[in-house]
Amino acid sequence: MTQPQTVTVRIMDKDYHIACPAHESENLERAALYLDQKMRGIRRSGKVIGAERIAVMAALNITYELHSKEQAQQAYAADTEQVQGLLERVQQTLESAE
């Protein structure tokens, strides 16, 4: 079993030391960069003040993005299933016509 390594990420000018598996460090760094960008964007808007409130708004925005993508993926899967069903019906019709 591999030992976790400590990765230092910087979010809104503050360093955080986070333990994670070595093979996940790059993903953690990308996630931290994404969070930092979201939080800085919210801070730049000037509508939210305070690091905690900015973090909550960023978390809500990211959760909304994730939820929207999950819904789109579910719709795509349903459409794919429907198309597959139609293809099977066409195939059956072609086979019975032979």
Instruction: Provide the residue ranges of all domains of the chain, joining segments of one domain with +.
Output: 5-97
Average pLDDT over residues 52-67: 96
Helix (H, G, I), strand (E, B) or coil at 10: strand
CATH 3.30.420.40 fits 5-97, yes or no: no
d(C-alpha 1, C-alpha 73), whole Å = 34
Mean pLDDT across 8-30: 96
Residue 85 CA: distances (Å) to CA of 5, 17, 47, 59, 74: 48, 50, 49, 39, 17
User: At residue 30, does pLDDT exceed 70?
Assistant: yes
Type and span of the H or E element at 20 = strand 14-20
Give the contacts of 40 (CB within 8 A, at least 6 positions apart): 12
φ, ψ of residue 95 in degrees (nearest 5): -65, -40
